[in-house]
Structures are given as C-alpha cells and as structure tokens.
Amino acid sequence: MTFQLSETHLAAGARLMARLDAFAEFTDEPGRLTRLFLSDAHKAAAAAFIGWCAEAGIEARIDAAGNVVARYEGKSAGAPALMIGSHIDTVRDAGRFDGNYGALAALAVVEGLAAEGKRLDHAIEIVAFGDEEGVRYRTTLTGSLALAGRYPEDALDQRDSNGVYMRDALRAFGGDPETAPFIRGDNVAAFVEAHIEQGPALEADGLPLGVVTAINGATRLEVAVDGMAGHAGATPMNLRRDAMTAAAEMVLAVETRARAEANLVGTVGRITVWPGAANVIPGVARFSIDLRAPDDFRRTVALVALDRTFHEIASARGVRVTSTTTHEANAYVCDPKIVAGLARAVEAVGVPPRLLPSGAGHDTMAMGHLCPSGMLFVRCKGGVSHNPLESITLEDCAYGLAALSRFARDFRTAV
C-alpha cells in the first residue's frame, strides 16, 4: 500500500534520519554500533542529546538513574505531563534504530512545537532511558523501572565483565547511586513510546505503522552447571562429569519446550565454559535463558518444567545445576485509551490503524506501573533488529514522527 505524506512531514523525517545517523557515531566499538549503559559512548550520546535539547531551548539533564530527561512546559507551569521517549543504550553490534528512534523522535516532536512557539494544555517530558537492553549488567529496564518507582534492589551491587560495580559506573556517568532507587516520575499523566516493530507483521501487511495492544512477559535466567574438569585423553567417557555436554542438553531442552507451545519463545544467547582448553573436559558451564510469552501463567509453567528437566539431566550426568532469575517482567496490556488515541493519530496521518502485540520487551512495560502507557510501532525491513542490517525507510520514519506528534498535540482529546 502507498500513502501520501506532506513535504513538511518528509522534511521532518529527513532531519530525524540524519540525526539518527549522527547518533550512531557514538559507539564503544569502532566500526560497529555498541553503546552500553554508562559507557563512554553512552555518556557522549547523552551529552549530544542534552545539547540538541538546548538548541531547541529545552533544558535537559541526567537524572539519578542515568536517564536523560527534559521538560517542555505547557500553557501553565506545572501542568500534568505526557512523557514520550525510549532508550539510547544498544546491544553489541546493533542497528541504529532500536530505541534511538523513539528517543530522538520525542525530541523532534518538542522541537516542532518550540519552532512554532506553541504551548499545549499539558507539558511534554522527553526521556532517553539509559538501560533497557541489560547487556552490560544483568538487570534490564533499569532506567524506566526507576521512574516507575520500582528500581531493582540488587542493581547497584552488580558488576560488569570487568568487575566494575554499577554504583561506581553510575556515579562516574553523572547519576547518583544514593538516590537512584528512590526517584519516581511526578505528575506524569501518560507515557508513549515510539519504536521500530522488530518483527515482520507490518511489512507483511504493507503498513508503515502499528499500535501495540500488549507486550510479552519475559524471564531471564543465568544457569550454572558444575561438573568436574579432567584430562581429555585419560578420562573414560562413562566416568566423565562434563559440564558442557550437560549444558548442551539443557540448551536443547529449552528449544524443545519453546517449539512445543504456541507463542512461547526461548533463547540461549550466551554460554561460557571453564577452563576452556581443547584438551580439558569442561568443569563449569554458564548460560543464559530468555523465555517470553503473552501469558504469564503459561510462561511460569514452562519455567517449572524446564527446571525439572535440567535437574533430571544433571542427575543423569553427575553434575550440579543451579539457576538465578536476573529479570522478570509480567506481560503488559497497553492502556485502552492510549491505544485508541494512537489509533486515531495513525488514522489522522492517512494510515489504516493496525493493532498488534509486541513480542519484544520495552520500557513501556515498566512505565505502565506509573501511568497509562502505550506504544507506536514503525515498520522495519524484514523485521530485522538487534543487527546492523536493521533498517527503516525515510517515509516510514516520517510517518512515525507525524503520528507521534499528532498524538502529543491531541493528547487531552486522545485519552
């Protein structure tokens, strides 16, 4: 399907695309986009974001939890705020649109209002969350959970792969580990996040935009398998307590369980072994599990079943298995009034509203504990994300910005 955009909307989309390109230069790894929470690249990106806010006459700052926050006042100072934004951290070797699109689109919405000198009946708060991906530290959604008043109790005491505590990295970044657990969004009437779909549904339907109805719940685990290291040549196969082969069987059990149930997805994205020598039987294996489903009960049942299977495997192979939950997020149903308002905004820019669920987790899940929340999806090529091939068109970028802007301007009537 083809839809018609105004030249003004296309020009705004082109500016946003150019800024996304510029923002992708802030990376921890030259030659590919990797921007981890509280890293030097994250700090440089936050400074650039704050600078762009200043150019538009908007004062921005880093809050105690490492988010960039800014406020565009309404007609009356202290009016309730519509908060819009997304995250600016990335996975390793990332695409440039995941998270960054929503954060920079939020800024573009306010830039448009400021350029017109227009004030609304409500304020607009912009947020660029610091930690959604959970790559550097085990927890995810740290920034949005902080604003929702649900800061993870153990977050600050976690260490990254180099042994750096989050509390020390947060302090060096410009946050405040002493107050981060106690901040909470104030007078926020609603939250909306624009985000690339990270899936193929919109492309299959020939639509540039979609409105999210619900977000899958997710559980992340760290699984430890402890066996006995031994000589690769001198230890008979029937006497081995091989942690790696036990872990491999457990990994396949995750895949088998997920394939057996509709809408359940399971991923093992990381595995390490020790001592990691070609001629030594692995004595220790560690791996991650990411399990997601739209139904919290069914996800819990799957987790219980996997735990039982893991212990059966461990017993048969003479190893020990333990698991630790590092992230738990219930499925989130987007606020019906926000969904309806976004659908009207999408229709207003000439696109038939398409309602769809999100398989990926988002900051919106956390913000839903603070206020009515919802999401706007923008089509991405092939549904590819968490990959440098991640791509959106200029036209779709412009559509997303136009719809987000329309929602922000019509917010009081939208909800």
pLDDT (tens digit per residue) in 386-398: 999 999 999 999 9
Q: Are 362 and 334 in contact (CB under 8 A)?
A: no
156 exposed, middle or buried (CB, 10 Å; 0-12, 13-18, 19+)?
Answer: buried
pLDDT in tens, 194-246: 999 999 999 999 999 999 999 999 999 999 999 999 999 999 999 999 999 99
Q: What predicted TM-score, i.e. pTM, was given to this entire model? A: 0.83
The length of the chain in residues reads 415
Looking at residue 327, what is its pLDDT?
A: 86
> What DSSP character marks residue 381?
G
Report the pLDDT averaged over residues 279-292. Answer: 97
- pLDDT confidence tier of residue 413, bands split at 50, 70 and 90: very low
CA triple 414-111-400, angle to 5 deg: 50
Average pLDDT over residues 328-339: 93
- Confidence check: pLDDT of 340 > 60: yes
Which residues have C-beta within 8 Å of that of residue 131, sequence separation ≥ 6? 37, 38, 66, 87, 89, 137, 139, 140, 141, 142, 143
Could you tell me the pLDDT band of residue 414, with boundaries at 50, 70 and 90? very low
Pull the structure tokens for residue 183. Answer: 């901040």
Structure tokens at 97: 């649109």
Question: For residue 348, what pLDDT is reported?
Answer: 96
Q: Could you tell me which residue, 2 or 75, shows the higher pLDDT?
A: 75
Opening angle at CA 359, ends 340 and 129, nearest 5: 75
In 56-165, alpha helices (H):
100-116, 142-147
Pairing of strands 320-329, 271-274: unpaired
Question: Which of 80, 103, 116, 85 has its CA nearest to residue 8?
Answer: 116
Tell me: the pLDDT tens digits for 87-117? 999 999 999 999 999 999 999 999 999 999 9
Which pLDDT band, with edges at 50, 70 and 90, does 328 fall under?
A: confident
Query: What letter would DSSP give residue 259?
Result: H
**Percentage of the chain with pLDDT > 70?**
99
Q: Write down the pLDDT at residue 294.
A: 85
- What is the spatial distance between Cα 99 and Cα 130, in angstroms, rounded to a whole number? 10
d(CA 405, CA 114): 12
Predicted pLDDT of residue 1: 63
Token reading at 311: 């212990």
User: What local confidence, expressed as pLDDT, does residue 329 receive?
Assistant: 84
Arithmetic mean of pLDDT over the chain: 96
CA atoms within 13 A on the CB side of 76: 5
* pLDDT band, very low/low/confident/very high, at 412 (cuts 50, 70, 90): confident
If residue 310 lies in a helix (H) or strand (E), which one and from where to where?
Answer: helix 296-317
